[in-house]
Structure 1
Amino acid sequence: MSDIDVVEVRQALRLVAKDVEIPRDLAARVRHGGRRRVRRRRVAAIGGVLAVTLAGVAGITNLAERPAPAPETLGDQLMSQPTRGDLAGDKQYLREVLSTYVETRDQTPLAGLGVTEHPVGPAHVAWAGNTPAGPAAAVVQRTKVPSKSARGGPGSGQIGGDTGVLIKFIGTAPSGRPEAVGTDYFGHHNYKGNSLAFLVGRDRSVLVVLDVGAALDFSTRRTYTTTTISRIDWAPLRFADGAAVLTVSPQRGRYSVAVREHNSGDYVGVGNLTDPAEQPGDRGLDWSTPPNDKSPVAQPARFPVNGADPSLADCWHECAGADTYRKLLGSGAPPGLEPQANLAVAQDWIAYGKTPSGSLFIACDLRVGSDPTRSMIVIEGKSGQPTTLYGPPVERSSPLPVLIELPDQEGWLVARKNARLEYRVGAHDWVDAGKNASLLSAEATAVRVDGTEVGLR
């Protein structure tokens, strides 16, 4: 299994698994589902080699004189440093934090990878400090990932045999006691974690980012235009005594915050997002077809538009014609999104067909992280990259929740499941536009949805 496959397994487990074995074909099924794949990358090493000297070990002579190798991962770096933060000397709090760590070590979907099963050596509090939301901490511990022969489960040895560092993030519960808020794992080979940030507080409005010697920036929101999804509010983090601590807008249930290396570098993981329950998805339009005898999972409703082959809707994962549309959709995935954004595409509906000029297009629902669901359309580029357009947040109660104007006077894409559609130009008669979805003439001035008129101008 390649590094990319392992990352796909990790993301899939974060979203849908808890305490499960890894199926051999999970990576293939993730690809088949059309999710955008991203490679999780570590923060680059900063400041040169970190020289550490091993303490003497009973029964081994001269070991204290041998320098240890440079840390291979950020987890190694955190393990090798003394506890930092203004609560580093509070022995009672550190005991409570370590007790919480032991009690909750297995309470993470990452347990399905086996990374919590075999701790090696004692746990270490890397940072402990006061925040506006109460005390918080980060605990690290070396763990052994069991080999296939040790666990015996199918596919369980694909990552196995390595020693890495588990990290658990601790906040303060409403009761005042420490609570675990997220987990990650720093592996040495195939499996590379990079969560150095976490959110605490009842509404998750305090961001803590551990200091590993790298210059980092943070952002609190994504900005949407008709052609881009980006972040334009990046600001530098200021570290003190092992961490940056700052108040942000409440993140509970939305998680729009992000951290990255300074000046467009790699993203740093946010530890809370290892828990799928922390990323509730917007319901969208609920147009998908429920599971049935043919499909064990829900399938998006599929609408052929402007003369497209309707039979493709019934063989979306098998037919060659549908494969062309699927590839087009993949090429229009939003670029540059943070790895933990939890991109959801084509969950509720898909409309496909040709524009009046003959270009293929595919449209669907789009959700980034826990942001509101929007519409997206990807139009084939005859001599270059496809054109991708993003609509405003959809309104479930709107008579016409999907309304996208195509560029170059190619018309209007409209959609509402099971609705009869009509349009007209100016004061002319209404023209039948079919059912579910339609590509209307660029001259259209109004559309009627089951008798309800919606203006286009």
Structure 2
Amino acid sequence: MDTTELSRALREATEGLQAPPTLAAAVLRGGKRRRTRRRVVLAGAMAVVIAAAGLVVVEMTKADPPQITTGVNPMLTTPTRGDLAGDQAYLDAAVTAFDTGMPNEPGKARLDRPHVYWAGTTDGGKVAVVVQEVERSDSTGYASDGTIIEGRSVVGLLVGTKPVLVNSFPQPYGTTTKGFAFVYGPNNRTVIALGAKNLSVSTTWRIAATSGRAERDWKPMVERDGVWLGETDAQGPPENIRVVTGDPVAAGYDQSLTILPGTRWSLGTDRQAKPVPEGVLRTEPGDVFRVSGSTSRPLGDNVHETLMAANLLDPLAGVTPTGAQFIVDLPGGGSVVAIEVVSMFIMDGLFLAQRDAAAKITGWTYCGLVRKDTGGLVGVCELPGQAGRLAVAPGMVLTYQARLDGGVGGDWVNAGKDAALIPADVPTVHLADPRGRTEAHSLLRE
């Protein structure tokens, strides 16, 4: 029987039947609720929908329901490991501290008793890794074979002789393939990682002075009873620490573990205290400033991708908020755009995009870190071809003193507001805010 014959038969069978007027709305409401509770993909299924007398009939050509498995985090059942596994008083204190520090979010209740997966003495002090099953979320995860995984857990790190929860990590579908790492201890320099093997740690990334490219130094971590431990160097913010699996030289973002720094929370010790403000932009996202009447369009949404391709951003960073854009048309055609970029909430830099006449990005230049002092100057970018410098100072009026032959000062020039082109031979820019306060800034590289 084909669909035409089936449709005719159904019409004949249901002739004279009347559906309640509220049925359609009720079906839709129920469908929405069911869809919210569980999103199921039926591979290879074909639905034939036939309307007859106000009823909806659905035939599935493949009747096999999707396989649903309960993904149990193995950390929940593994006996406690580490040199403090036999210290029952410490384990009990860790569980109590976990209960105290972990909030109960509505609809995501924690189930059963927390389990201490690992407890030991590290260079950053005594720590405990505690895991607990939680109620699954509305969204459903899928395994590689297409089966639905409903398991969900949360892992917390507790630090100190009197344990305190410093951070936690939800695991929607069991232990992730890439794993995750907590950063803790004095000055947040100790790393404990789980869920992956053959790990290396790096303190920070930098742009090499010689090549102008992003680079990192790596050192191996040590495996100990199911966790990996490592120490980082003193320089650089903890938010720039990275842990990768496999060959660190060849590792990309897919090999990078999720990093959970304690400094994201007040004092790095209390998860319930007010979070430390993340590295914020000095300029407003979406603002566009056109210098000297520029008519070029602003940058699109490919800033992150093109900066990564130019190897000017940390290749292991997944978040790059961007601030305002400052556009300058070049005399020979094309344009440049200065833009503020924050990498992983902490490294705030100013970058300059070079573009052709069609506004296509042809290259990037790193201008330097955004200035964090109380002054109005955000940063300075050197324009290509000795065309001068772009000084960025939103909300300020920029002036400079022209240079005469022999370096003797000439007339004062009002260069504009918010940002301005400054001749290459001018070493200083003067700023004035709306209230008339003035300040002077060197344009030379620091």
Q: Does 1:223 align with 2:223?
A: no
Alignment partners' CA distance in 1, 2:136 and 2:314: 30
Query: Could you tell me which residue of structure 2 aligns to residue 184 of structure 1?
Result: 169
Structure 1 segments unaligned to the other structure (5+ residues): 1-70, 148-156, 289-298, 310-320
Query: Could you tell me which residue of structure 2 aligns to residue 145 of structure 1?
Result: 136
Alignment partners' CA distance in 2, 1:89 and 1:271: 27
AA paired with 2:260? G
Q: Does 1:409 align with 2:386?
A: yes
Q: Does 1:198 align with 2:182?
A: yes
Match of 1:362 among 337, 348, 360: 337
Match of 1:436 among 411, 418, 436: 418
CA shift, 1:220, in A, is 0.8
Query: Could you tell me which residue of structure 2 aligns to residue 170 of structure 1?
Result: 157
Q: Does 1:421 align with 2:399?
A: yes
CA shift, 1:372, in A, is 5.2
Number of matched pairs:
342
CA separation of 1:279 and 1:166: change in aligned 2, threshold 3 A: farther
CA separation of 1:338 and 1:162: change in aligned 2, threshold 3 A: farther
CA separation of 1:354 and 1:193: change in aligned 2, threshold 3 A: farther
**C-alpha contact 2:279 2:346 (8 A) present in aligned 1:** yes
1:414-448 Cα shifts (integer Å, max 9, x gaps): 12231232353444544432222112344555544
**C-alpha contact 2:292 2:416 (8 A) present in aligned 1:** no
CA shift, 1:250, in A, is 6.3
Q: Does 1:326 align with 2:300?
A: yes
AA paired with 1:100? A
1:180-211 Cα shifts (integer Å, max 9, x gaps): 1112223339x96855311233532322223x
**C-alpha contact 1:205 1:251 (8 A) present in aligned 2:** no
Query: Could you tell me which residue of structure 2 aligns to residue 293 of structure 1?
Result: none
Alignment partners' CA distance in 2, 1:169 and 1:188: 16
**C-alpha contact 1:331 1:386 (8 A) present in aligned 2:** no
Query: Could you tell me which residue of structure 2 aligns to residue 85 of structure 1?
Result: 82
What are the residue-to-residue correspondences of 1:19-418 with 2, within 5 Å? 76-79=73-76, 81-106=78-103, 111=105, 116-119=108-111, 121-147=112-138, 157=139, 162-173=149-160, 176-188=161-173, 195-201=179-185, 203-210=187-194, 212=195, 214-225=197-208, 230-249=214-233, 254-263=238-247, 264-265=250-251, 266-272=255-261, 280-282=277-279, 285=282, 288=284, 302-309=288-295, 322=297, 324-327=298-301, 329-334=303-308, 337=314, 342-346=319-323, 349-371=324-346, 373-380=348-355, 385-398=362-375, 400-417=377-394, 418=396
Query: Could you tell me which residue of structure 1 aligns to residue 53 of structure 2?
Result: none
The percent identity for this pair of structures is: 20
Alignment partners' CA distance in 2, 1:252 and 1:455: 25
- TM-score normalised per structure 1: 0.62
Structure 2 segments unaligned to the other structure (5+ residues): 1-68, 143-147, 266-273, 433-437
AA paired with 1:206? T
